[in-house]
Amino acid sequence: MAEFIRIYEENPNPREIDRVVAILKRGGLVIYPTDTVYGLGCDITNIKALERIARIKGVKLEKSNFSFVCHDLSNLSDYAKQISTSVFKILKRALPGPYTFILAGSRSLPNPFKKKKTVGIRVPDNNIALEIVRQLGNPIISTSIRDEDEVIEYTTDPELILEKWGNLVDLVIDGGYGGNEPSTVIDLSDDEPVVLRAGKGSAEIF
């Protein structure tokens, strides 16, 4: 069964963050809070962990549409091709926030994603997620924790998440109740913004 730890978003305990990072560095899978719904993540540099997530989600890793959760925009050039000033201004205005931006992928994407033309970038407005990524030193892969319920699309209660996912992952973070509205997905790969999914983030940021 997965470990279950409580971390407070207002002031994440550095010792608890260190525990999460140690598990990620060992190739573990972690369920963590964001500014939208709870996410399932792992270190993007760990191939075995990436393959585990792909198996859980029932997708081929190289064809998956996982997002990269970053601490800020400073390492963007590692994953996205050179972006225009207008695109960068949109990113600066919207992030951190409840958005996933689709950008043209660079040649230095991690091996399993080398053939992908685009990459989804997230910088969530959630101190727990941001501290984990900052301490880890590189992004984590993220995919949403969905619910089988026909009415509720995402599981919001960390204890229920532990019940359902505890045997599949290594750690579940209780960061309080999650949201039930996903991020707004905006395609900026051709410079002109296209909203692919309306979510929590307002599309009026342009």
Where are the chain's structural domains?
3-197
* pLDDT tens-place values along the chain, 206 residues long: 999 999 999 999 999 999 999 999 999 999 999 999 999 999 999 999 999 999 999 999 988 889 999 999 988 888 999 889 999 999 999 999 999 999 999 888 888 888 889 999 999 999 999 999 999 999 999 999 887 766 667 789 999 999 999 999 999 999 999 999 999 999 999 978 999 999 999 987 76
Q: What pLDDT does residue 199 have?
A: 93
The burial class, CB within 10 Å (0-12 / 13-18 / 19+), for 44 is: buried
Q: CA–CA separation, 122 vs 144, rounded Å?
A: 12
Q: Tell me, what amino acid is at 115?
A: K
Residues 81-103: tens digit of each pLDDT: 988 999 999 999 999 999 999 99
The backbone torsions φ and ψ at residue 177, rounded to the nearest 5 degrees and listed phi first, read -65, 135
What CATH architecture is 3-197? Alpha-Beta Complex (3.90)
pTM of the model: 0.94
Alpha-carbon distances, residue 128 vs 7, 30, 95, 175, 200 (angstroms): 7, 12, 16, 8, 19
DSSP 52: H
Q: What pLDDT does residue 77 have?
A: 85
Which alpha helices (DSSP H) does the chain contain, by range? 14-25, 47-57, 85-94, 127-136, 158-165
